[in-house]
A and B are shown apart, each in its own frame.
Chain A
């Protein structure tokens, strides 16, 4: 396993432990069978995208905006657009799996 931050340096292949680590970072629970299936699939895809390393991009800027635009700022007005304004607690909570007392409910968190 090559760990390297430089451009054009790709990992050789991704291990089962690494897939488990990524799944954990992505907060997706995966059982053993799922991991077994995922490892070759991901390696297949990552192996294929490695061809990008053939291209010399040393003098190329990475794209940040496909259609160049200046960043807009909205007017500094309270509730400028009613659709994105405040005062809609019921709407915001309407689809919550567990809403109590005007809040989102989550399992007890004790550190």
Chain B
């Protein structure tokens, strides 16, 4: 029999439905890969019994001739930012170590209802704050990719670094991610996989540990565009428990896939051509234009004039929201409590938060507290929200000239672990191409384009109007069909 862990979401679902193999066989194969990949540190907790339990339920349904669901028999990895009933959920922090939710997040519940099973909870940057998965309390995630002939560990991207690693290393056919300012797209790009952040509000935030609520969006990470379409369809949907959930029907994205881009205009924003951008990144962009032209699209030059201000605005808005959201970790209701001898309530708060948060989280809470403090609120926070309006207006104007936007996902390929130690600001610049679409709430996806001269993957990003995930997926499919990208990391773990 073929190695079942080489199959993606669609192949597994269809194979289980056709009786080519059982869901249990699939779950066992992936459970074995998870257990053998401790060196990658992609999982905080493995839940092989959960994967088997879901698989057995699907196999039993099939025996009775019942519907198996759109993800029937597909085991997935769950980013440890989604609350899972009875399974520890940490956001990769010490402050939530041992926290066992008594309820299930809407997105994960939707996936289980569609027939998916859980392989485990995936590592991430602490509270989803980071671009390299080096801020987790549970250790760094290591990319399965290495430069040929080198043993140097590379970053898997972040914050969904456990997700990107699990999919790239064949530990899971797909995984959930969340994207606040690039946390699905950047890790997907640097590990040679596919990931989509839908329009803000498509996926419910209920039960997802909050980072920056006006930006946080869940989405799928998988091996190809079709698998992302299937999984996003299962994840999305209106949820009255999330006040910003979109009250709209979920389109049939899988059925709507169509790589013919005739009549579509694809905009190339010249502001994304920044000084010092890697030559290989520019080359991948040129190839992307050719592929989309070949699919029938017309390439047009556009301008997004406030692009350079998007990232600094994000680094005011996201920390401001984080400082407010993370105020809930107080050592009273759940999570860590540090109660020094003789300490009062205020001392307990301060000691608990000092012990429970990592450096990057503290840094962002302090920045957020500062920009929201009396006397600075208008200069920093209000100004950033005005810039956010301008960034969104740039996109609105661009839609008069084009239907989609093509850009690189990242300014560089995966970098070595520790590459930005002591320089948080330089690390932030990794999300320079991803953040504008986040600020504007737009659907955006990264698809693999090519390997650079070091043999490392590079991704291309497609952005579209609100609610046009289909347009994003279709252009992604057109690229995927032409790039011929089928590189996988050589197994060393």
Contact = CB atoms under 8 A, between A and B. Distances in A.
Interface residues of B, number: 78
Given A52-B387, A95-B100, A71 B243 contact: yes
B387 A94 contact: no
A29 B353 contact: yes
A70 to B, nearest CB: 9
A67 B198 CA distance: 12
Interface in B290-337: 306, 308-309, 312-313, 315-316, 323, 327, 330-337
Contacts of A5: 375, 377-379
B375 A63 contact: no
B350 A29 contact: yes
B200 A91 contact: no
A97 B336 CA distance: 7
A59 to B, nearest CB: 10
Contact of A11 (B241, B363, B376): B376
With a 10 A CB-CB cut-off, give which of B200, B327, B334 has the most chain A CB atoms: B334
Contacts, number: 193
Q: Which range holds the interface residue count of chain A?
A: 35 or more
Contacts of B363: 38, 41-42, 45
Given A10-B380, A63-B388, A28 B362 contact: yes
A78 interface: no
Give the 6 A-B CB pairs with smallest separation, nearest first: A62-B385, A66-B441, A95-B334, A97-B337, A91-B102, A57-B386
Given A10-B380, A26-B353, 16 more contacts: A6-B378, A7-B386, A30-B354, A41-B363, A46-B370, A48-B425, A51-B308, A60-B389, A63-B392, A66-B440, A67-B466, A74-B240, A88-B102, A94-B100, A95-B99, A95-B100
Interface of A: 3-11, 14, 18-19, 22-30, 38, 41-42, 44-46, 48-49, 51-53, 55, 57, 60-67, 69, 71-72, 74, 81, 83-84, 88, 91-92, 94-98, 104, 106-109
Interface of B: 98-103, 199-201, 214-215, 240-241, 243-244, 246-247, 306, 308-309, 312-313, 315-316, 323, 327, 330-337, 339, 343-351, 353-354, 357, 362-363, 365-367, 369-370, 373, 375-380, 382-390, 392, 424-425, 428, 439-441, 466
